[in-house]
Amino acid sequence: MNFDIDFTTHVPIYIQLMDQIKHAIATGELQPGHQLPTVRQLAADLRVNFNTVARAYRLMDEEGIISTQHGRGTFILEPVSVEETARLRQRSLTRLAQIYAVEADRLNFSPAEARAAFEQALASWEAEGHPAASDEPEISTNGE
């Protein structure tokens, strides 16, 4: 699994890492029993501080998402239920919405401007059957 850490966002790296692991579990990319990289290996791969990865792993261990077994490694636990998987997916979606709002505010957009841009992106997604890729031309907000 490849992790995509954004060093320019205001979202802490350990939160980004947790969100991506939870997303991979919710989508089935990571299955119960899969082993995650060691804290040291993942920190080296991502070029982040060891303690950042350790914090993410510790918090997910406390949530019952993963289990770290000293000397053996860190593994994805069996999901508690279908409801738990749905809850993880919903939490990921809520987190994405929060990130969008924080970044729009950081760029000094009003809530109305952020809502309009988001609704336009959703309308495009519905019309095209998939969301627009980030490398596509920017959406005009001046009615053109």
Q: Which residue has 């089935």 as its token pair? A: 28
CATH level 3 topology of 1-108: Arc Repressor Mutant, subunit A (1.10.10)
Q: What is the pLDDT of residue 137?
A: 46
Domain boundaries along the sequence of the chain: 1-108, 110-144
- Tens-level pLDDT at each residue, the chain (144 residues): 789 999 998 889 999 999 999 999 888 899 999 999 999 999 999 999 999 999 999 999 998 899 988 889 999 998 767 787 788 788 888 988 999 999 999 999 999 999 999 999 999 999 988 887 765 444 444 444
Rounded to 10 degrees, what is the CA torsion of 79, 80, 81, 86?
A: -60
* Whether the predicted model's global pTM rises above the 0.85 cut: no
